[in-house]
């Protein structure tokens, strides 16, 4: 299996531009090497991409703008195509190439043509050159991709394996995408993969917690696990929040509000909830609900518990777990004293993980389903 940064070549095939003195020039692709193709109609001068065209079956005729030059774009050997976002320019692979596309990184939505990758544009130019030769020389031209010399590198475009492959779980979608990082939006339907990833990770942590309780007898070793779980839970929520924030940044915002949103820290859960409510009428601690997805709210005692656990995480990271005056001032925790090293118990970690899962679910529901259909531009 290809690893990150490995080259995944386009599958082989034979492209022909067939010259006919009466009918003009027809494009054809044949062979057993390629897995999937789509077509792009180029302007007659080869300078502009006009439209994507569905690949017709045997004996069918592709409908495309006229006049235009029809070209083929093969998938790589895994049935996917590279894309470059027209806004952030970042690269990803997907099997979605027809219709409007959502960038998995920045949530920009644009036409399929806007996402044609840089290497594929070079390849399309090479296709056009083959058409031009057939037209000018008045004879058919053929390009067998398995036999092209290295001197014609445009014909040898390839894709590059990214870090994380996911299949969209939205009903009826199942789009495949390969991205840097882990969290991303589906190019076809625009839904985040964050829900499945985040909830699965938290559930795995809760399962591991019970396993450690049952198998590890040393108290210090057990508490090290609870501390790491506490630290990691907030880090994961921060990563999810930053991912979902990219969708919120697609709304029209003043320059000042945009900077505030870009600086928003999801590690400070209650503050993030307050500001999101103020700016968008959504948050982390409550979900207003729908007919199919009932209302939820984190109870005040749980909100205070979250605040204390986040502060404990702060001193674990920045003060070796030793209580300082800032911790006492921020939490009013009377169970510890200054310079005491805190202890994280399994029941507290378990409760905290469950509450982090709840806040993440609230945030996901609010961002993905808490707005009207008139969504970000």
The reported pLDDT for the residue numbered 153 is 40
Q: With contact defined as beta carbons under 8 Å apart, do 233 and 355 qualify?
A: no
Query: Residue 24: inside a domain, yes or no?
Result: yes
Q: Which two tokens stand for residue 264?
A: 């928003």
Query: Residue 92: inside a domain, yes or no?
Result: yes
The reported pLDDT for the residue numbered 128 is 86
The percent of residues in the chain predicted with pLDDT above 90, rounded, is: 66
Peptide bond preceding 67: is omega within 30 degrees of 0, i.e. cis?
Answer: yes
Query: Residue 376: inside a domain, yes or no?
Result: no
Are both 259 and 347 inside the same structural domain?
Answer: yes
Are both 245 and 363 inside the same structural domain?
Answer: yes
Domain finish residue from 129, 156, 183:
156
The reported pLDDT for the residue numbered 142 is 67
User: Regarding beta strands 37-42 and 49-53, do their DSSP bridges make them parallel or antiparallel, or are they unpaired?
Assistant: antiparallel
The reported pLDDT for the residue numbered 342 is 94
Q: 163: Cβ–Cβ under 8 A, 6 or more apart, which residues?
A: 4, 179, 180, 181, 182
The reported pLDDT for the residue numbered 74 is 82
Are both 152 and 208 inside the same structural domain?
Answer: no
Task: Compare 38 and 154 and report the one with higher pLDDT.
Answer: 38
Question: 151 pLDDT band (50/70/90 cuts)?
Answer: very low
Count Cα atoms within 13 angstroms, Cβ side, for 121: 12
Count Cα atoms within 13 angstroms, Cβ side, for 31: 20
* Beta-bridge mates of residue 92: 83
pLDDT reading at 109 higher than 90: yes
pLDDT reading at 23 higher than 90: no
The reported pLDDT for the residue numbered 190 is 96
Weakest mean pLDDT among 158-172, 270-284, 313-327: 158-172
Query: Residue 270: inside a domain, yes or no?
Result: yes
Are both 312 and 362 inside the same structural domain?
Answer: yes
Q: CA–CA separation, 207 vs 110, rounded Å?
A: 41
Q: What is the largest distance, in Å, between two alpha-carbon atoms of the chain?
A: 93
Burial of 256 (0-12, 13-18, 19+ CB in 10 A): exposed
Query: Among all chains, which residue has been given the structure tokens 């609010």?
Result: 366
The reported pLDDT for the residue numbered 209 is 98
Query: Residue 146: inside a domain, yes or no?
Result: yes
pLDDT reading at 31 higher than 70: no
Are both 237 and 329 inside the same structural domain?
Answer: yes
Domain finish residue from 156, 187, 205:
156
pLDDT reading at 237 higher than 80: yes
Q: CA–CA separation, 49 vs 355, rounded Å?
A: 50
Task: Compare 125 and 29 and report the one with higher pLDDT.
Answer: 125
Count other C-beta atoms under 10 Å from residue 7's C-beta: 10
Alpha helices in 192-218 (DSSP H): 194-215
The reported pLDDT for the residue numbered 225 is 97
Are both 140 and 37 inside the same structural domain?
Answer: yes
Q: 293: Cβ–Cβ under 8 A, 6 or more apart, which residues?
A: 287, 365, 369
3-class SS of residue 226: helix
32-72 pLDDT, tens digit each: 666 788 889 999 998 999 999 876 655 556 678 888 888 88
Query: Residue 260: inside a domain, yes or no?
Result: yes
Are both 134 and 218 inside the same structural domain?
Answer: no
3-class SS of residue 295: coil
Are both 203 and 348 inside the same structural domain?
Answer: yes
Q: Which two tokens stand for residue 28?
A: 């054809």
Are both 109 and 205 inside the same structural domain?
Answer: no
Domain finish residue from 100, 131, 156:
156
Query: Residue 177: inside a domain, yes or no?
Result: no
Q: Which two tokens stand for residue 329?
A: 């001032």
CA distances from 123 to 71, 165, 189 (A): 9, 25, 28
The reported pLDDT for the residue numbered 149 is 35
The reported pLDDT for the residue numbered 160 is 87
CA angle 260–263–268, rounded 5-degree value: 105
Are both 152 and 90 inside the same structural domain?
Answer: yes
Domain extent, residue 144, equals 10-156
* Beta-bridge mates of residue 17: 27, 141
The reported pLDDT for the residue numbered 302 is 97
Count Cα atoms within 13 angstroms, Cβ side, for 284: 26
Burial of 350 (0-12, 13-18, 19+ CB in 10 A): middle
The reported pLDDT for the residue numbered 143 is 59
169-172 CB contacts, 8 Å cutoff, 24+ apart: 169/193, 169/196
Q: With contact defined as beta carbons under 8 Å apart, do 105 and 183 qualify?
A: no
Count other C-beta atoms under 10 Å from residue 205's C-beta: 20
114-137 pLDDT, tens digit each: 999 988 888 888 888 888 888 888
300-309 pLDDT, tens digit each: 999 999 999 9
Q: CA–CA separation, 9 vs 82, rounded Å?
A: 11
Burial of 12 (0-12, 13-18, 19+ CB in 10 A): middle
The reported pLDDT for the residue numbered 63 is 77
Are both 225 and 311 inside the same structural domain?
Answer: yes
Query: Residue 233: inside a domain, yes or no?
Result: yes
Are both 238 and 131 inside the same structural domain?
Answer: no
Q: Which two tokens stand for residue 196?
A: 């499945």
Among candidate residues 294, 264, 289, the one with its CA nearest the CA of residue 278: 264
Work out the angle between the directed axes of helices 219-248 and 346-369 (0-180°, nearest 10).
10
273-320 pLDDT, tens digit each: 999 999 999 999 999 999 889 999 999 999 999 999 999 999 999 999
Structurally, the chain folds into a number of domains equal to: 2
pLDDT reading at 167 higher than 90: yes
Average pLDDT of span 244-272 = 95
Work out the angle between the directed axes of helices 194-215 and 219-248 (0-180°, nearest 10).
170
The reported pLDDT for the residue numbered 73 is 84
Question: 154 pLDDT band (50/70/90 cuts)?
Answer: very low
């Amino acid at each position: 299996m290809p690893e990150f940064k490995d080259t995944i070549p386009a599958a082989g095939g034979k492209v022909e531009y067939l010259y006919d003195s009466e009918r003009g020039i027809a494009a054809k692709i044949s062979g057993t090497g390629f897995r999937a193709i789509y077509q792009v109609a180029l302007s007659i001068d080869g300078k502009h991409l006009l439209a994507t065209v569905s690949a017709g079956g045997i004996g069918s005729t592709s409908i495309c703008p006229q006049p235009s030059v029809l070209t083929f774009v093969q998938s790589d050997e895994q049935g996917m195509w590279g894309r470059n976002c027209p806004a952030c320019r970042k690269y990803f692979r997907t099997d979605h190439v027809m219709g409007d596309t959502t960038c998995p990184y920045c949530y920009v939505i644009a036409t399929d043509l806007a996402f044609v990758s840089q290497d594929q544009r070079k390849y399309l130019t090479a296709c056009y050159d083959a058409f031009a030769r057939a037209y000018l020389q008045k004879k058919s031209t053929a390009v067998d991709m398995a036999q092209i010399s290295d001197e014609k590198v445009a014909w040898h475009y390839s894709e590059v394996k990214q870090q994380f492959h996911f299949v969209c779980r939205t009903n009826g979608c199942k789009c495949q995408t390969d991205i840097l990082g882990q969290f991303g939006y589906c190019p076809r339907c625009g839904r985040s993969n964050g829900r499945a990833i985040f909830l699965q990770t938290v559930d795995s942590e809760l399962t591991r917690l019970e396993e450690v309780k049952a198998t590890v007898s040393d108290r210090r070793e057990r508490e090290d696990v609870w501390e790491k779980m506490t630290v990691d839970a907030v880090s994961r929520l921060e990563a999810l929040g930053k991912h979902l924030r990219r969708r919120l940044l697609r709304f029209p915002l003043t320059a000042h509000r945009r900077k505030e949103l870009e600086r928003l820290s999801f590690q400070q859960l209650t503050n993030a909830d307050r500001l999101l409510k103020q700016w968008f009428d959504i948050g982390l601690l409550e979900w207003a609900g729908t007919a199919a997805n009932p209302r939820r709210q984190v109870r005040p005692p749980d909100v205070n518990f979250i605040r204390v656990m986040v502060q404990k995480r702060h001193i674990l990271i920045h003060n070796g777990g030793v209580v300082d005056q800032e911790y006492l001032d921020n939490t009013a925790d009377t169970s510890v004293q200054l310079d005491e090293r805190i202890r994280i118990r399994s029941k507290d970690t378990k409760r905290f993980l469950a509450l982090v899962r709840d806040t993440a679910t609230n945030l996901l529901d609010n961002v993905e389903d808490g707005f009207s259909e008139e969504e970000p531009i």
